[in-house]
């Protein structure tokens, strides 16, 4: 890597699990700069309450970019109370077409307890087929573990926690310091 080339922020695994009438979104706490852990206790899963509706969101990618997206999502939710899918689609459209938003490097997992979506800067609003989804550097590991664990009697939270533990054992950009939020509909 050239001296003047910024290595970029890496790390984060976020998983969303929908099972047994609840949705759990869990995220690790590691933030890395290149190969150095900068912080191990970051909180990348948050509750939003626009217009009195309870929403849980987890983000992977640049923290500042994710906060900008969360603010936009809250505004969309306030404009369309109780309509998470519509707000998510509106955010994805803006993200894809707005010159400022196009530069943002993050992904979101959001839920209102009934629906679970991944929102990307490519204009995607994705609903997982198997009621589990994951993003970030350890996302593929957490997703594989989560899909396998969905076949068990474990609760949504237990699936999320075990999947994150597996991802943190494999991905060097993921740690076991979790933030876990549960939402029921």
**Does a structural domain hold residue 99?**
yes
56 touches 115 (CB < 8 A): no
For residue 36, what is the enclosing H or E element?
strand 36-39
Residues involved in catalysis: 12
What's the average model confidence in pLDDT over 44-52?
87
Residues 6+ positions from 157 with CB-CB distance below 8 Å: 17, 22, 24, 26, 180, 182
* pTM of the model as a whole: 0.91
**Does a structural domain hold residue 81?**
yes
pLDDT at 173: 92
Residue 152 labeled ligand binder: no
18 Cα distance to chain centroid: 14
- Count of structural domains within the chain: 1
d(CA 72, CA 93): 12
The mean pLDDT of the chain is 90
| The pair of three-digit structure tokens given for residue 53, joined into one six-digit string | 């509706």
**Does a structural domain hold residue 2?**
no
Provide the pLDDT confidence category of residue 49 given band limits of 50, 70 and 90: confident
Per cent of the chain over pLDDT 70 is 94
What is the span of the domain harbouring residue 66? 9-184
Residue 174 labeled ligand binder: yes
128 touches 118 (CB < 8 A): yes
Quick: pLDDT tens for 81-100: 889 999 999 999 988 887 77
Alpha-helical (H) ranges within the chain are: 63-79, 84-97, 139-149, 156-170
115 touches 85 (CB < 8 A): yes
Q: Look at residues 25, 32, 51 and name the one whose alpha carbon lies nearest to residue 180.
A: 25
pLDDT at 42: 92
| The pair of three-digit structure tokens given for residue 14, joined into one six-digit string | 């976020």
**Does a structural domain hold residue 173?**
yes
The label of the residue with tokens 């076949």 reads 151
Quick: pLDDT tens for 57-68: 999 988 888 888
Q: State the CATH number of the domain containing residue 100.
A: 3.60.20.10
**Does a structural domain hold residue 46?**
yes
**Does a structural domain hold residue 4?**
no
Residue 120 labeled ligand binder: no
């Amino acid at each position: 890597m050239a001296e003047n080339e910024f290595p970029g922020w890496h790390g984060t695994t976020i998983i969303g699990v929908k099972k047994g009438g609840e949705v759990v979104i869990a995220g690790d706490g590691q933030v890395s700069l290149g190969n150095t852990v900068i912080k191990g206790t970051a909180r990348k899963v948050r509750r939003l309450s626009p217009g009195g509706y309870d929403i849980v969101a987890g983000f992977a990618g640049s923290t500042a970019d994710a906060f900008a997206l969360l603010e936009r999502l809250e505004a969309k939710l306030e404009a369309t109370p109780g309509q998470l899918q519509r707000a998510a689609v509106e955010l994805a459209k803006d993200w894809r077409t707005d010159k400022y938003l196009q530069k943002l490097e993050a992904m979101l997992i959001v839920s209102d307890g009934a629906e679970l979506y991944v929102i990307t800067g490519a204009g995607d609003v994705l609903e997982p087929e198997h009621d589990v989804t994951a993003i970030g550097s350890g996302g593929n590991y957490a997703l594989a573990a989560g899909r396998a664990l969905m076949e068990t009697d474990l609760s949504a939270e237990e699936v999320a926690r075990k999947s994150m533990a597996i991802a943190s054992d494999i991905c060097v950009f993921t740690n076991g310091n979790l933030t876990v939020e549960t939402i029921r509909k």
